Structures are given as structure tokens and as C-alpha cells.
Amino acid sequence: MAPACQEDEAPAARAQLGLLGELEVHGVPWTRREHALATAFVPRGGDEDARFALAGLTDEVETRREEALGLRVPVGDIQPSVGGRGEDEVGGTHAAYATLGPAVMLALADAHCHLDASYFPEGADAVLARATAAGVVGFVVVGVGTDLTQARSAVDLARRRPEIVAACVGIHPHDAVSWSEAAHDELRGLARQTEVVAVGEIGLDYHYDHSPRDVQRDVFARLIGLARELGKPIVVHTREAAEDTLAILEREGARDVGGIIHCFSEDRPFAARALDLGFDVSLSGVVTFKSALAVQEVAAWAPLDRILVETDSPYLAPVPLRGKKCEPANVVHTARRVAELRGIPVEEVAMATLANTERRFGKRFARGE
């Protein structure tokens, strides 16, 4: 496994972190061409107008130091943007970000997030704004629940923010007992909308068994049929149900539409069979967990053009944010860990996973154009 950060000349800018007294600070360096060692900082929780030009710092980010400080807005080398100020509110803490010169930022897609009002009472727009400031340019927002309220909300958000949001609608295996012919017909109507790029998440969950397993299997098969009817990919949830999941995908002709195995938590043999069926692997914050060795093996092994990254917000916050509510801005930590496991620059992972998300869901995100 290659180290998380390797010294090279390609990056024009890297995020810098430090502590100024007792204040956490975020920094974005100028380009090498303008000032190789000048870095601008704005203290978190301090005077938002204060700026400090500090010299003598390398442009190498120490992963452990980032994790200790809980970096939320890392900077990379993909999309150029003009330095400026913006505000972010995370957990009630306002942070200002400023640069003294041009910077470049990773461009990422969160391939699976839940932005229901019950999770984010401040509203989806505030969550999207924080993620956009962190370099997330695309969001696949999933609407599932005991009824279709969340599905309708996801479609409404995608209709209102089409430049950056696509919707998925489905019936989660936890809620399989809520399936009815009437619900199926309404779901069909929602899934036909142009804002909806996939049917999901759907699948099997034998860990909690909130719905009987036979009911889960029946609803899963029916919803694969709906996806095939509409010609749209599916987003698969599977937990402790690997063999049944693959068997149903194969039996119901899911190869015809393909899709993603979201929040991948299985092993390499499962991944190989899923890839053969035309499914991509979507990696969540689980890949950053020390115990997730099988998932890390898949992240290092799977073809780069078959990998996506996601948050599954508000769940599964990645290291170094374990125990906190997850949100799309955190997807950068997952991308960084995937890059580390593969021994390639995080910029390469960002470009590939964004392209893969757009290809899989047939959606082009605006990238601030």
C-alpha cells in the first residue's frame, strides 16, 4: 500500500492545517508560481477577517494531523476556482475560508446521500452549500421511507436544483412490508420523471430483518422488474444477504439495467460477481474504518472505472469524523482513503469517480459552469 501522500510536482496547491494558539485553522496555499511557500489562514471560531501569511511550511498534508483536526474542506488540484470567502456552518460552528490567491479544488460526486428534513432540519440547501464549498459538484439524492414522502422530496429537490442533484426513488428492504400495488404504481410514476436516474435503494437486509425475508425478496424482485420496465439502473442495498442478493439479481435480469452496489460492505468474490453482472462498486465511509479489511481490498483491486464514492449521509461518517452526523461534504475523506489504498493521487480518484457516477446515472453535473 502506498503512503497517503507522495511528494510530486503535479499539485499546484495543497490544504494546510495548523493550530494558531487554541484556534483551529484552515488554509489554502497560493500556487507555486505565485508564491511557493505562502499560505493564507483564517482561524475557525476566531476573527473571520483575520488573515495570516505564514511562510516556511511545506505543501504536504499530514493525514494524521488532518484526522486529529477534523478537516472538512480539503483542497486538491482538479477544478480551478477563484479564491474568495465563504461561510460554512457545521454543528453550529461557523468557519470562514479565505485565500490570498487562486486555488484549485477537488471535484467530487456523492453517489448516494439521504437529505431528508428529518435528518437535516436546516434544509437540504444548507447541506448542499457546505458540500459545494468542499468541492462536491454532484449529488445523487435517495428517497426511501415507510411511505413515498421522502421519494417525492428527492424528486422535488432534483427538479429545483437540476444542475447538481439527481434523484433515486425506491423502497428500502426495511420497508418492504409497506409495499402495495398502489405504492408500486405511484413509485412507477415518480421513477418515470426525468429527474430520477435510478430505482433505489432496493435490496435485502438480513441484519435487522425489519421486514420478513420472504417479503424482502419478493419486493426486491418486483422493483428490479420496475427498473427494467423503465430502463433505469438500480441502487442495491445488501447486508448479510450476499448469496440471495446475487441470486435475485441474476434471476431477475438485473444485468439488463445494471446499477451500483451501494455502501459496499462485502468481499472481493462478491465484488467480482457484481462487476460481471454489470454493477459498479460504491464505497462509503466504511472503507476508512480500520476493521474493514475486505472492503479495503476491493477498493484497491476493483477497476478504477467501476468505482464510485458516497457518504450514505447521514450515516457512516468516515474517519476522522466517526460518531458525527455524516453529510456530503465528508465524501472527500472516502476519496482520499481510496486513493491511499490504490497508491494514486486523490485527484485521479476524484476525476474517475465523478466520471463513473455521471456515466452510471446518465447525469452530467454542472461543475460551476
Q: What is the pLDDT of residue 229?
A: 98
Which residue from 202, 205, 338 is spatially nearest to 281, judged by alpha carbons? Answer: 338
Q: What is the pLDDT of residue 160?
A: 98
Number of helices (H) and strands (E), helices first, in the chain? Answer: 10, 16
C-alpha cell, 147: 411511505
CATH code of the domain made up of 106-361 = 3.20.20.140
**166 and 197 in contact (C-beta within 8 Å)?**
yes
Q: What is the pLDDT of residue 72?
A: 31
- Residue 337's SS3 state is helix
Which residues, listed in sequence order, are joined to residue 20 by a DSSP beta bridge? 23
* Strand blocks (E) in 170-319: 196-205, 234-239, 259-261, 279-283, 307-309
Rounded CA gap, 114 and 318, in Å?
A: 16
Q: What is the pLDDT of residue 13?
A: 31
Q: What is the pLDDT of residue 369?
A: 54
Rounded CA gap, 191 and 162, in Å?
A: 16
Phi and psi at 165, nearest 5°, equal -120, 135
* Strand blocks (E) in 267-330: 279-283, 307-309
Phi and psi at 95, nearest 5°, equal -130, 135
Q: Which of the residues in the chain have pLDDT under 70?
A: 1-104, 368-369
Instruction: Spell out the domain ranges in the chain.
Output: 16-104, 106-361
Cis ω before 303 (30° cut-off from 0): no
Q: Give pTM, 2 decimals.
A: 0.74
Residues 6+ apart with CB under 8 A from 265: 239, 286, 292, 295
First to last CA, the chain: 36
Q: What is the pLDDT of residue 368?
A: 67
